[in-house]
Amino acid sequence: MTESEIIQIIKDNPVVLFGKGEKGAPRCGFTANMQNIFDELYPEYVAVNVLGIEGIRDIIKNISDWPTFPQIFINENFIGGGDIVTEMYEEGELQKLLIGEEE
């Protein structure tokens, strides 16, 4: 997968989760947590498995400037990793972002 293909996925989908494992079959606890949150709030999210695709993790890290996975993009913007997105969810900020509200 190339950088331009990854960027196109981000552009084409309102919510993209780059994580370890397939949608519905996460292979790490952080990815499982993100899938649970988005299953509840925005089930149409796209999940991209970063395991087993040569070079994909390095390309995504270069795009986001973030070292770990999962990584969440909403409306083409990098939001953060698991800890940041979980905190946003717990504070109600993620819900507002997903429905287009601004503070």
Q: What are phi and psi of 42, to 5 degrees?
A: -155, 75
Long-range contacts (CB closer than 8 Å, 24 or more residues apart) made by 84-93: 85/34, 85/37, 86/33, 86/34, 86/37, 89/37, 89/41
Look up residue 17 and give its amino acid. L
CATH number for the domain whose boundaries are 3-98: 3.40.30.10
Model pTM above 0.85 = yes
Mean pLDDT calculated for residue range 33-45: 96
| pLDDT at 103 exceeding the cut of 60 | no
List the domain boundaries for the chain: 3-98
Residue tagged 């800890």 (tokens):
83
pLDDT tens profile 65-82: 999 999 999 999 999 999
